[in-house]
Amino acid sequence: MKNRKFLLFMLVLTLGLLLAACGTQTDEEGAEENTEKETNEGAAEENTDDATNEEAAAGDYKVAMVTDIGGVDDKSFNQSAWEGIKAWGEENGLAKGEGFDYAQSNEKADYMPNITRFVRDEYNLIFGIGFELKEDIQTASDQYPETNFAIVDDVVEAPNAASITFKENQGSFLVGVAAAMKTKSNKIGFVGGVDSPLIKKFESGFIAGAKSVNPDIEVDVQYAESFADAAKGKLIATNMYDSGVDVIYHASGATGNGVFNQAKDMKQNNPEKEIWVIGVDRDQHDEGQINDHNVTLTSMVKRVDVAVQDVATRGMNGEFPGGELLQYGLEEDGISYAKTNEEAMTEEIISAVDEWKEKLLSGEVKAPQTIEELETYEKSL
């Protein structure tokens, strides 16, 4: 009897030990599974946080521009810059007033208040569009070292400011070639905005390109002393066309709208009259449309939009080129000429322009930037 009780006791004890062992194994596996699950969830949560932080960093980066008095819709320089900032903003899921914006300047006295408003609103990067803002961008860069600035078409000296310039003389040289090949009167014109070293680059390159084709060509040069006086532009164009000029290249911002208006008025009154305008900064083909005709021969395209978009992207990525001088030319696709008017820009003209383009790119020819360099160039022809 005692043996049977002892055997029963041993059986129950063995069974209990087996159940306990199974329970322990199950608990350990469960604990391991829970630990692994928590680790994976934690990693996923960490990755989500990283992605969110990256999105927040992009979303928090704010860019603005201050126009010169030409205005954001000048069909030229300021408009091109604004198109670049809008493209940058939309590419990063931002909207006007919520990540990017502009301030209109109606007079020079508006420059600094517009700049400081954007500083106050905690914009990370503020562009000054045009050399006329140089002094105010320099002052703001010194006063607000935590904010990044960029000046277009001039140079400022500050570790938190980038200077964006273009080789306008190269593009102007090419449209000068086109003008010389298109003219029937051998008289062409240049209308400048404000007489300055910058606009002299346009003038010098244009005259050099034209005289490379025809050293005896006549070039009438006049300045409106404004980038926002369309009436003055129209008056200058009237006088030029009446004197026999049949191609005018303008480098005058919104003043150039008057040049286009006069050419279109004359074309409407006499559709058979061959007169042309060469646009600037943007492809101004649309500005020359009148009925079934278009008076825009070509345009010297200056990719301000590409430049500001590039600098904004670099700034957002933590690579803002503070203290650097950035130059955009033919080599960087920052300068080109328009071929939109296929009827006016014949294959012969395009072929000739492209030949000169290759000479500029190879260094065989150097487009002058100043009147002194132009005079030297003319002597070599």
Indicate whether 224 and 265 sit together in one domain. yes
Indicate whether 195 and 290 sit together in one domain. yes
Indicate whether 162 and 292 sit together in one domain. no
Q: What is the DSSP string of 323-354?
A: T-EEEE-TTTTSEEE----TTTS-HHHHHHHH
Q: Are 227 and 252 in contact (CB under 8 A)?
A: yes
Question: What CATH number does the domain containing 219 carry?
Answer: 3.40.50.2300
Indicate whether 90 and 174 sit together in one domain. no
Residue 75 is predicted with a pLDDT of: 82
Indicate whether 141 and 251 sit together in one domain. no
Range of the domain at 96: 59-166
Candidates 241, 234, 278; CA nearest to 257 is 234
Residue pLDDT, tens place only, 8-46: 444 444 444 444 444 444 444 444 444 444 444 444 444
Indicate whether 352 and 253 sit together in one domain. yes
CA dist list (Å): 226 to 64, 262, 284 = 24, 18, 19
Q: Report the C-alpha gap between 237 and 250 in whole angstroms.
A: 10
3 occurs within a structural domain: no
Long-range contacts of 107-112 (CB under 8 A, 24+ apart): 107/69, 108/69, 108/132, 111/66, 111/68, 111/136, 112/136, 112/139, 112/140
Which positions ≥6 away from 195 have C-beta within 8 Å? Answer: 223, 225
Instruction: Say how many domains are in the chain.
Output: 2
50 occurs within a structural domain: no
- Select from 102, 135, 166 the last residue of a domain: 166
Would the pLDDT of 378 be above 50?
A: yes
Looking at residue 290, its amino acid is: I
> Among the residues of the chain, which ranges form H helices?
2-60, 77-91, 111-120, 134-143, 168-182, 197-213, 230-242, 256-269, 304-316, 347-362, 371-379
First to last CA, the chain: 132
Indicate whether 175 and 289 sit together in one domain. yes
Residue 370 is predicted with a pLDDT of: 98
Residue 333 CA, chain-centre distance (Å), reads 11
CA dist list (Å): 42 to 31, 39, 47, 51, 149 = 16, 5, 9, 14, 40
35 occurs within a structural domain: no
Residue pLDDT, tens place only, 162-196: 999 999 999 999 999 999 999 999 999 999 999 99
Indicate whether 153 and 174 sit together in one domain. no
- Select from 148, 166, 184 the last residue of a domain: 166
337 occurs within a structural domain: no
pTM of the model: 0.80
Residue 36 is predicted with a pLDDT of: 46
326 occurs within a structural domain: no
Residue whose pair of structure tokens reads 């934690």 in the numeric block: 42
Indicate whether 76 and 138 sit together in one domain. yes
Indicate whether 114 and 177 sit together in one domain. no
330 occurs within a structural domain: no
Residue 273 is predicted with a pLDDT of: 94
Candidates 120, 91, 90, 83; CA nearest to 102 is 83
Candidates 198, 93, 97; CA nearest to 151 is 198
CA dist list (Å): 170 to 205, 250, 342 = 6, 15, 22
Residue pLDDT, tens place only, 44-83: 444 444 433 344 345 589 999 999 998 899 888 899 999 9
Residue pLDDT, tens place only, 215-261: 999 999 999 999 999 999 999 999 999 999 999 999 999 999 999 99
Q: Are 191 and 229 in contact (CB under 8 A)?
A: no
Q: Report the C-alpha gap between 240 and 246 in whole angstroms.
A: 8
Indicate whether 142 and 259 sit together in one domain. no
Q: Report the C-alpha gap between 231 and 257 in whole angstroms.
A: 9
Looking at residue 117, its amino acid is: R
- Select from 151, 166, 181 the last residue of a domain: 166
Indicate whether 98 and 213 sit together in one domain. no
